[in-house]
Amino acid sequence: MSSPSEIALQKLQNLGEVYYPGKAQDVRKKENYKYVYLVYNGPNVLQLGKGGYKRIKKCMRGGLAGKHNKAFICAIGELVLGQPNTYAYVFLPSDRVKDAEMEIHRCLGVETNKDGATLIAGIEDRSILGIHQALWMQAKDTTLYRALDSIEKQMAEELFELVTYATTKIQRTKKIVASRQGDNLEGNILEKIGKSYLIDIFIKLTNGYLRYGKHRMDRQEFEDFKRSYSPYISNGKPFEIKC
C-alpha cells in the first residue's frame, strides 16, 4: 500500500516536471506560474498546498519567517520525525492550481479548507488544532526541547499556545488584520504583540528552521529578558491578542 507521501508525489508527477529544492533558497521562480507544492518527511505529508513564489518558501527550512498557517507543523514535524523534510513542487498556470490541489487532497482523504493537509503516522486527528497538540506532546520528548532551560520551556509553552489557540489582531494602516496558527510566527507579528523573545525559542527548538531578521533580539537582550520573565500561565483554549 502506498504511503501518503508516495501518493502525493505520484499525483505531482502526473501534473508535470517535479522539482526538489533542498532548501528555500533553491526554489525556482517562473513568471506567470504558480506552484502546487509538497512538504514531506519519509512517508508522512506535512503540507500539500498551492501558492506563489514567496508562499512556498515560508514553510521550508531556510525560508524567511512569514505568514503561513502550516509553518509550525512543518518545522515541529521535522523536529519530531527526526530527519530533514523533503520538498517538491510543480509549476502550473494560475487557473489550474486550485483544482490540482483539491484533486491531490481528495486522493489523500483531505477535505480542502476543512482538514489540515497533514498526514503523520500515529496522528489520527485531521484538524490543525489536533495536529498541533499531538506534535507538541511528542516535541517534548526530543533532545532539542530537553536542552531548553526551565524558563525557556515556559516560553516554549507560550509559543505553542500562541500558534495553536491565539488569534492576533493588529491594526494596520487602514484595517485590522487577524492572524492564526503558524501565521503568528511572522517576525513583525511577534514584535507588534511584544513577544519577540519567542523567536529565539522557536529557533532553538527547531535548529533554525526559519530565518528571522531585524525582529529578533540580540543574544544579550534575550538573556536579560529571561531574567525578568514572569511564569507563563497556560490558557489551553482560544484567546485573542489585540494590538
Which residues have CB under 8 Å from 225's CB, separation 6+?
A: 197, 217
Q: Across the 243 residues of the chain, what is the mean pLDDT of every consecutive 10-residue run?
A: 96 97 96 96 98 95 96 98 98 96 96 90 94 98 98 98 97 91 97 97 98 96 96 94 93
In the chain, where are the structural domains located? 4-127, 137-242
Helix residue ranges per DSSP H, the chain: 4-15, 53-57, 71-81, 94-108, 128-139, 143-146, 150-164, 187-192, 197-206, 219-228
**Residue 12 CA from chain centroid, whole number:** 21
Q: What is the pLDDT of residue 204?
A: 98
Cα–Cα distance between 52 and 127 in angstroms, integer?
24
Helix residue ranges per DSSP H, 31-124: 53-57, 71-81, 94-108
Q: Which residues pair with 119 in a beta bridge?
A: 45
Query: Mapping DSSP to helix (H, G, I), strand (E, B) and coil, where does residue 175 land?
Result: coil
Q: What is the pLDDT of residue 113?
A: 81
